[in-house]
Structure 1
């Protein structure tokens, strides 16, 4: 039981320390939009989307939203962008 608690505390500490910040989310969003659409990349739409996104942190994980829609998730230093055109 003690070993489990130690491992749990270490994992929690690692998650807290490596939670991606707002800049990481915005950079990933900008790059992902440019990668998915060359026209959007040329027009700088990724930068615009990154600019209007709102960063939220849960301590061990984080996410960004645009118009109350989650557009990125982050944890352990990684940022994931789900399919952007789903839900239309």
Structure 2
């Protein structure tokens, strides 16, 4: 769980985010090491996941505004889609 944001300015928010993310990643890497994964494997996976998230955010910066999947299914009913 991430702690609540405490900073107010953009620069302070960025610094706080870096600190919180670094702590979370240190914990993740330590846990992965205990499970038998190498640090290199986990770092590569983290970087790839970060690139994926960055691309997804660029394509849809606010996914919370998207309709729920069940809404999409309802819209497709009667239009020859797989949910008929």
Please indicate, yes or no, whether the TM-score normalized by the shorter chain is above 0.5: no
Structure having the larger proportion of residues in helix: 2
Which band: TM-score by shorter chain?
A: 0.3 to 0.5
Determine which structure has greater relative contact order: mean sequence separation of CA pairs < 8 Å that are 6+ residues apart, divided by chain length: 1
Structure having the larger proportion of residues in strand: 1
What is the TM-score with the length of structure 1 in the denominator? 0.31
